[in-house]
């Protein structure tokens, strides 16, 4: 069959959805399924990304807005390129696609905690996403928590929502040579010991409480906090000023987004990953850190609990004291650290991109039939 893949967001921004899209697409092409893939980009800049791949056709679709691209340009491409099933690794599908359509739900935080999103985004999510859900032949949820939320908030029947877990790139599982680790340490001016936060900074990530908890633990031990990721200035400006407000700016370093191999090195060098989010559907940094042998302190709810239970220190993300206690335990208890490292590696071994791709393809084949 001919599978159309909507890639309007391919180069949109860094973060989990971008990693998910690129790794899943690579794994789908590597399956050798015999299907043809029509890759639909918004601009011509991405043409040639998969040049030479067998069974791949790349198409650039122009449109004045993202809605026009989704609702007009893509259905026209479905007809023109004889697409049998349409797949979007991110939210949205054409409401009149001309073929069965499947999209991936990466979490419904704007329903669970709507105050964490901009008003304009809440409007889009409230009015458009339920329509995408109603029209989809199937929805892929990245965790069981997300599947339950799709059924609860979008009123989708259980038979149309499938849980398919994300993978973890092997780069996080491969031990890096000491010389490579030291090169990463030198490039980012990393001290001998540090705590790590990986990901974007915006309200669901609970950055303010994280920094307050860190302030009670890290500076007195001489252990800095490294923030590897970006931010949403519309939503996180006050949170980013929290270190300054607490008088610990010199202890918080922000190198920005880090490419995966170097991020793997950061996990390997860090004392722990701190991700006490108020909401995560499927926190990729948790899986990456566990695969790299980095102990994890994360939230005792939603997707982080689902992924990391028994392989991480779980804390109440609404309690600064509890987060601080979790950080202390992973820094001070060598036996706990050893157990978390071993349990994390075992837990993360189940999350593989080839498995994610095979299960995703199975959903596409089912709806096409």
Cβ atoms within 10 Å of 357's Cβ, excluding its own? 22
pLDDT value, residue 110: 82
Cα distance between residue 339 and residue 351, in whole Å: 20
- The number of angstroms, rounded, from the C-alpha of 15 to the middle of its chain's C-alpha atoms is 6
| One domain, residues 264 and 129 | no
Question: How confident is the model over 228-285, as pLDDT tens digits?
Answer: 987 765 556 678 888 888 999 999 999 988 988 999 999 999 999 999 999 998 889 9
| One domain, residues 357 and 340 | no
- The number of angstroms, rounded, from the C-alpha of 73 to the middle of its chain's C-alpha atoms is 27
| One domain, residues 68 and 146 | yes
Structure tokens at 4: 């159309």
Q: How confident is the model at residue 124 (pLDDT cuts 50, 70, 90)?
A: confident
- For range 123-151, the mean pLDDT: 93
| One domain, residues 239 and 127 | no
Q: What is the number of alpha carbons within 13 Å of residue 354 lying toward its C-beta?
A: 6
CATH of the domain at 224: 3.40.50.2000
Host domain of residue 111: 2-167+352-368
Question: How confident is the model over 140-166, as pLDDT tens digits?
Answer: 999 999 999 999 999 999 999 999 999
Distances (CA, A) of 335 to 58, 155, 195, 286, 342: 52, 46, 18, 20, 11
Cα distance between residue 290 and residue 276, in whole Å: 15
Q: What's 119's DSSP letter?
A: H
The least confident of 11-20, 21-30, 35-44, 295-304 is 11-20
pLDDT value, residue 229: 84
Question: How confident is the model over 274-320, as pLDDT tens digits?
Answer: 999 999 988 899 999 999 999 999 999 999 999 998 999 999 999 99
pLDDT value, residue 283: 86
Expressed in angstroms, the distance from the first to the final Cα of the chain is 10
| One domain, residues 188 and 301 | yes
Residue 27 pLDDT greater than 80, yes or no = yes
Identify the burial level of 133 via C-beta atoms within 10 angstroms of its C-beta, where 0-12 means exposed, 13-18 middle and 19 or more buried.
buried
pLDDT value, residue 208: 94
CA dihedral 286, 290, 294, 300 (to 10 degrees): 50
| One domain, residues 202 and 339 | yes
Residue with tokens 């939603």: 302
């Amino acid at each position: 069959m001919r599978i159309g893949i909507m890639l309007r967001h391919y180069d949109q921004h860094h973060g989990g959805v971008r990693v998910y899209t690129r790794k899943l697409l690579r794994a789908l092409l590597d399956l050798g399924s015999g299907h043809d893939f029509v890759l639909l980009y918004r601009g011509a800049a991405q043409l040639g990304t998969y040049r030479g791949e067998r069974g791949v056709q790349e198409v650039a679709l122009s449109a004045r807005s993202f809605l026009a691209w989704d609702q007009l340009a893509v259905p026209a491409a479905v007809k023109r390129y004889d697409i049998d099933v349409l797949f979007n690794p991110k939210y949205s599908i054409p409401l009149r696609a001309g073929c069965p359509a499947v999209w991936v739900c990466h979490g419904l935080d704007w329903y669970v905690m709507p105050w964490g999103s901009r008003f304009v985004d809440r409007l889009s999510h409230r009015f458009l996403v339920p329509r995408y859900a109603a029209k989809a032949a199937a929805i892929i949820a990245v965790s069981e928590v997300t599947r339950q939320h799709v059924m609860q908030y979008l009123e989708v029947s259980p038979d149309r929502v499938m849980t398919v877990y994300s993978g973890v790139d092997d780069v996080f599982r491969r031990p890096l040579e000491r010389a490579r680790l030291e090169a990463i340490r030198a490039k980012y001016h990393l001290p001998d010991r540090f705590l790590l936060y990986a990901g974007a900074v915006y309200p669901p990530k609970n950055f303010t409480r994280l920094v307050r908890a860190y302030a009670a633990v890290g500076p007195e031990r001489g252990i800095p906090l490294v923030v590897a990721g970006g931010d949403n200035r519309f939503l996180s400006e006050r949170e980013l000023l929290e270190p300054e407000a607490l008088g610990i700016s010199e202890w918080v370093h922000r190198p920005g987004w880090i490419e995966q191999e170097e991020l793997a090195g950061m996990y390997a060098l860090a004392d722990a990953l701190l991700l006490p989010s108020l909401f995560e559907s499927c926190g990729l940094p948790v899986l990456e850190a566990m695969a790299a042998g980095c102990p994890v302190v994360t939230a005792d709810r939603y997707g982080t609990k689902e992924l990391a239970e028994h392989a991480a220190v779980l804390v109440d993300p609404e309690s600064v004291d509890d987060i601080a206690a979790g950080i202390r335990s992973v820094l001070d208890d060598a036996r706990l650290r050893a157990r978390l490292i071993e349990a994390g590696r075992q837990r993360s071994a189940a999350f593989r991109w080839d498995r994610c791709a095979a299960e995703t393809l199975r959903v596409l084949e089912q709806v096409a039939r």
